[in-house]
Amino acid sequence: MSQVLLDVLRKATGYLQTHGSDSPRLDAELLMAHTLGLGRLELYLQFERPLSDPDLQPYRELVARRARGEPVAYLVGHKEFMKLDFEVTSDVLVPNPDTEALVLRAIEWCRARGGPAQVADVGTGSGCIAVALAHYVPDAVVCASDDSAAALGVAARNVRRHDLEGRVRLCQGDLLEPMPGGLDLVCANLPYVAPEASLPPEVLAQPGHALRAPEGGTAVVRRLLADAPEKLSVGGCVLVEIDPSQRDAFESELAAYAGRRLHKDLGGQVRVLEAWRQA
């Protein structure tokens, strides 16, 4: 017995809505497009397409997994970030739209500075920050680090996907330890969630070591801010993603810098801390 695609989408949307998804129709469409090997927009041209039970079985399994809290990006294997497509696995965090505020500021900073820029992406994960920055700033050379070999494997595939092997170099190690000196810009989306914080299931499904940090979520960012001045060139800059509640949490570490400012994400929340080295 077959069912029409639109009716299947409606049922899946209702099911996901009652199981905690905050974007049930979008999730249902993305999973359907993946199942059928279509672009999401192509679904709108096939709403009357009949689907048999064998067609629907893989879709039902994906919807059930989404209802249990697995991120859509893990289920379909990729995620868009900064209008670029990235492979995503359970070894890395799902690229978050909030992080685009950091990348946009990094692009703006590089363009205003002009000329070649030596950039570090610390805790690169999927490589989305490094790849996006290299893609949009042709003069940037990016060194991207992570302490996870599995994450670096994902990042390497994303670097190849976007044909950036010549300008994005990957290295394994703790924070800035494997990085060269003389960096013009350090970008970082590090763990900043407090250990006791309550998180939704789709966030809990992501690597905990990349999310949570001691000292109310500030410990890893503190280490980066303390170590970065030794690696920065004169006038060099650090951009790090933070929780809005941490806007005043790094005063002692920031004493080593000439200045700082805060930037908001698309939702209007403080999301990025910028600090620059003393001359």
Band of pLDDT at residue 193, cut at 50, 70 and 90: very high
Asked if pLDDT for residue 179 goes beyond 70, the answer is yes
Supply the pLDDT for residue 1.
Answer: 63
Domain with CATH 1.10.8.10 in the chain: 3-68
Supply the pLDDT for residue 241.
Answer: 98
Domain with CATH 3.40.50.150 in the chain: 91-277
Supply the pLDDT for residue 152.
Answer: 98
Mean pLDDT, the chain, integer: 94
Note the pLDDT tens digit of each residue in 205-263: 999 999 999 999 999 999 999 999 999 999 999 999 999 999 999 999 999 999 999 99
What's the pTM? 0.93
Supply the pLDDT for residue 46.
Answer: 86
Q: Which CATH fold would you assign to the domain 3-68?
A: Helicase, Ruva Protein; domain 3 (1.10.8)
Beta bridge partners of 238: 186, 275
Note the pLDDT tens digit of each residue in 115-160: 899 999 999 999 999 999 999 999 999 999 999 999 999 999 999 9
Looking at domain 91-277, which of 3.40.50.150, 3.30.70.20, 1.10.760.10, 3.40.50.2300 is its CATH number?
3.40.50.150
